[in-house]
Amino acid sequence: MLGWMFATAQASTAVDQERPAAPDELGVSVSVGCGSVTVRGDSVVKVKVTGTVDDPDALTVSTSPGHVSIAVDGHFTKKTCGELVVVVPRTAAVDVNTVSAPITVDGVQGSMDLESTSGSINVSGTGCGLDAQSISGDVAVRGGVKRAEVSTVSGSILVDQVVGPVQVESVSGSIRVSGGSPLPSISAETVSASITVAAALLPEAHVHLETHSGAIVFALPQDSSARIQASTMSGAISSAFGPTRSNEHALVLGQGSGEVSLESFSGPIAISRLEPH
């Protein structure tokens, strides 16, 4: 087995290709079965691909007006892997699809559509919009992303310092969300894990947090304007804004212009103050 692994590693071929690309309305797509994909936004007018592939004939880098496509095509049954680093103009729209390869995106300001079957997804930057899906991998988003829609089945989700609407779903992984500025909407749902949200809200914000068998912690500033409704079947409810009663609690902060719904079937709910930094 060790000899086979060594032979496979030795067979990897270095990749170093470039394609000219105007930053305006540029789309870049990357498809890899196994290995890893890293996409970096930079002040360039080209798309540069480096790294290694198991089979150089499996790599294609093709261009069409406004688009660059990069693929390692081993038909997945051949286990042709690629360890790719792709540098793109910052404003490019990025689409990455992998099977068992982690995805890392850094410094991209355009839209991002990322999907992995069993790999993790890590994003940092200020993209205008993010759609990220993984079946059995963790998803972490850090930075001022203007819109985030994230889902995973058995991984955890972290969305940190986002500045726009957030929609996240997980089946058995925990969810953590924080806002880098007051948010217009937050939707977070999981079946068997906890949800933690700490964010300021815009006056007309809508928030819905729901878990079946996990805890919910929701922190917001003292001066928020929101109407909060919390309910749990078999857990306790606590609030830093006043006393609570049984497993149903209603709370109005400020003018009550926003709407907040917190629901847990068998977990506790805590409403706390988000202290200014």
Which helix (H) or strand (E) is 7 found in, with range?
A: helix 2-11
Beta bridge partners of 170: 152, 190
- Residue 24 reports pLDDT greater than 90: no
Each domain of the chain, given as residue ranges in start order, spans 1-99, 120-277
- Residue 121 reports pLDDT greater than 90: yes
- Residue 37 reports pLDDT greater than 80: yes
Q: What is the pLDDT of residues 236-250, one digit of tens each?
A: 999 999 888 778 999
Split at pLDDT 50, 70, 90, the class of 10 is very low
Terminal-residue alpha carbon distance, the chain = 54
Alpha carbon 36 to chain centroid, angstroms: 17
Cβ-proximal residues to 251 (8 Å cutoff; 6+ apart), any chain: 227, 228, 229, 230, 239, 241, 242, 271
Which pLDDT belongs to residue 8?
42
Structural contact between residues 136 and 156, judged by C-beta atoms closer than 8 angstroms: no
- Contacts of the segment 191-196: beta carbons below 8 A, 24+ positions apart: 193/156, 194/267
Structural contact between residues 158 and 179, judged by C-beta atoms closer than 8 angstroms: no
Which pLDDT belongs to residue 276?
77
Q: What is the pLDDT of residues 43-70, one digit of tens each?
A: 999 999 999 999 999 999 999 999 999 9
What is the arithmetic mean of pLDDT over 106-118? 97
Which pLDDT belongs to residue 2?
45
What is the arithmetic mean of pLDDT over 69-92? 86
Split at pLDDT 50, 70, 90, the class of 75 is low
Which pLDDT belongs to residue 202?
97
User: What is the pTM (predicted TM-score) of this model?
Assistant: 0.92
Taking each continuous run of H as one helix and of E as one strand, the counts in the chain are: 1, 25
Between 218 and 242, where is the model more confident?
218
Q: What is the pLDDT of residues 142-186, one digit of tens each?
A: 999 999 999 999 999 999 999 999 999 999 999 999 999 999 999
Which pLDDT belongs to residue 78?
61
Q: Among 53, 67, 76, which Cα is nearest to 21's? A: 67
Q: What is the mean pLDDT of the chain?
A: 92
The radius of gyration of the chain's CA atoms, rounded to the nearest angstrom, is 22
Split at pLDDT 50, 70, 90, the class of 132 is very high
- The region of weakest confidence among 78-87, 98-107, 221-230 is 78-87
Q: Whose structure tokens read 């847990």?
A: 264
Q: What is the pLDDT of residues 225-234, one digit of tens each?
A: 999 999 999 8
Which pLDDT belongs to residue 80?
86
Q: Among 112, 108, 87, 90, which Cα is nearest to 17's? A: 87
Which pLDDT belongs to residue 9?
47
- Residue 11 reports pLDDT greater than 90: no
Split at pLDDT 50, 70, 90, the class of 6 is very low
Name the residue type at position 178. Answer: S
